[in-house]
Amino acid sequence: MMVTTDDERDMTIEWLSVPRIGEVIALVGTGVPYVAPRTRSDYWLYATLFSTTCPLAVVEGQVVGAVIAFRSQDHPEDIYLQDVVTHPSHRRRGITRALIDTIAERGRLWGCQRLYLTCAPDNHNAQKAWTTLGFRNLPGDRTIDAVSVITDVKGPGATRAVYERRLL
C-alpha cells in the first residue's frame, strides 16, 4: 500500500517477506545497542507465520523501516511490538508512525485492544517516540531516570519500561 508521510512522499508499506530478510537484518543492525538483529531462521519464521503484524517501510525499493510484532496467542486482544527500527538517514519523517498505525489498523480489524512494547530505561529517544505516538508508560515497581520500569520483566537483568497504546 502507498503511504505518504511529511518527508517520504513515495513510501510503500508491505508485509515482511522471505526475499526481504537480508535487508531487514541489515536495517535492524542500525538499531544497536537497543535492537539487535536475530538469525535468518528467526526472520524466516516471522515472514512465514507472522507477516501480517510485521510491516516494512520501503522507499525507492529499499527497506528503511520495520516493525516485528506478534499477536498474542494467550491474550489475542494484545499485539506485542518486539522490534521497531527506522534507518538513521530516514528518522523523523513519519516512518515509525506509519508502521505503528498500520499495525494498529490491523489490530482493530481483529478486535485487539492494545499494542504494547518494552524499552530500555536509558533509551530516551525511543521513550520520546512512544509517548509522541500515543503510548503511555505503565506503572512499574521502581523509577529510573524519571521512567517507570519493571524489574526483570524480560528475565533476570532485563529491567524495562513497558509502554501501551489502547486501540479502542
Q: Which residue has the cell 506503572?
A: 139
For residue 7, pLDDT beyond 70: no
- In three-state secondary structure terms, 148 is strand
What are the phi and psi torsion angles at 87 (to 5°)?
-55, 140
Gap between the terminal Cα atoms of the chain? 24
pLDDT of residue 6: 55
Q: Which residues contact 81 (CB under 8 A, 6 or more apart)?
A: 67, 68, 69, 100, 103, 115, 116, 117
DSSP for 97-144, please give it: HHHHHHHHHHHHHHT--EEEEEE-TT-HHHHHHHHHTT-EEPP-SEEE
Per DSSP, the chain holds a count of helices (H) and strands (E) of 4, 10
Pairing of strands 161-166, 114-119: antiparallel
Angle at 82 between CA 37 and CA 38, to 5 degrees: 20
Q: Each residue of 85-111: pLDDT tens digit?
A: 999 999 999 999 999 999 999 999 999
Predicted TM-score of the model (pTM): 0.93
* Most distant pair of Cα atoms in the chain: their distance: 45
The per-residue pLDDT for 1 is 59
